[in-house]
A and B are shown apart, each in its own frame.
Chain A
Amino acid sequence: NAGVTQTPKFRILKIGQSMTLQCTQDMNHNYMYWYRQDPGMGLKLIYYSVGAGITDKGEVPNGYNVSRSTTEDFPLRLELAAPSQTSVYFCASSQRGSNAEAFFGQGTRLTVV
């Protein structure tokens, strides 16, 4: 069982470049999420989706965009990368239900120079 798969694992971007972080899950989960993790700050929610075609902003959405065309995929787009977007990004998915466990990918470490 692959679970939640993120690509790439590492990436270095120059300021102003753009990129897409890929996330796919094979558990048929309706809900998907993007978090960023910065040292000493825990994880902050960027965007989330409750199903194909439905997305909404989280706590720190500025500078990012998402789409959800299928149940499996939830890519995160960075336009005009800035040093403040240097972080570790985690994709997660869960079933419906407030007590449902979130399953996390292994993360993408992004550095913007």
Chain B
Amino acid sequence: AQSVTQPDIHITVSEGASLELRCNYSYGATPYLFWYVQSPGQGLQLLLKYFSGDTLVQGIKGFEAEFKRSQSSFNLRKPSVHWSDAAEYFCAVGVTGGGNKLTFGTGTQLKVEL
């Protein structure tokens, strides 16, 4: 069965600093990988996704992620964090076939210090 690990429960960065959120997955086939963001009291919004091709994926709000098959990782990065980026971030792996079911990691809570 597939699984996703987000090893960092909480991360605090200063506004303007760079950010990297870690995600490791376990899946037997080529994975479909997603990063979602959840602002307080809101639903989840897709930041970016990977399913094939270029391993560096660009998303919304200046985020990018790099798929590294050898490390089973899909880390999320942003060069310069803004205070509005404070939120919870979820990495997910999609199961091929059978309804596009997503398996989520436990999330990383990002705090941005001004």
Residue from B36, B42, B99, B103 having most chain A Cβ neighbours under 10 A: B99
Q: A4–B42 Cα gap in the complex (Å)? A: 12
Query: How many residue-residue contacts, CB under 8 A, span A and B?
Result: 68
B105 to chain A, nearest CB (A): 6
Q: Does B90 make an interface contact (CB < 8 A)?
A: yes
Whether B90 and A42, one on each chain, are in contact in the complex, defined by CB atoms closer than 8 angstroms, is: yes
Which B residues fall within an 8 A CB radius of A?
4, 9, 32, 34, 36, 41-46, 49, 51, 90, 94-97, 99-107
Q: Does A112 make an interface contact (CB < 8 A)?
A: no
A-B pairs, 9 with minimum CB distance = A104-B43, A99-B51, A42-B104, A42-B106, A104-B44, A43-B104, A106-B43, A98-B96, A101-B46
Whether B99 and A102, one on each chain, are in contact in the complex, defined by CB atoms closer than 8 angstroms, is: no
**Interface of A: prevailing SS:** strand
B95 to chain A, nearest CB (A): 8
- Residue among A31, A44, A106 making CB contact with B100, cutoff 8 Å: A31
B72 to chain A, nearest CB (A): 18
Q: A99–B34 Cα gap in the complex (Å)? A: 9
Whether A101 and B49, one on each chain, are in contact in the complex, defined by CB atoms closer than 8 angstroms, is: yes
Q: A96–B65 Cα gap in the complex (Å)? A: 24
Q: A31–B101 Cα gap in the complex (Å)? A: 9
A-B contact pairs, 9 of them (CB 8 A): A31-B99, A35-B104, A40-B9, A45-B101, A58-B101, A90-B44, A92-B44, A100-B100, A104-B36
Count A-side interface residues using an 8 Å CB cutoff.
29
- Residue among A31, A41, A102 making CB contact with B106, cutoff 8 Å: A41
Residue from B4, B46, B49, B104 having most chain A Cβ neighbours under 10 A: B104
Nearest B residue to A49 via CB reads B99
Residue from A56, A97, A98, A104 having most chain B Cβ neighbours under 10 A: A98
Whether A98 and B102, one on each chain, are in contact in the complex, defined by CB atoms closer than 8 angstroms, is: no
A100 to chain B, nearest CB (A): 6
Known: A48-B99, A97-B100, A98-B94. A104 touches B106 (CB 8 A): no
Q: Please give, as numbers and ranges, the residues of chain B lying within 8 Å of A33 by CB-CB distance.
A: 99, 101-102
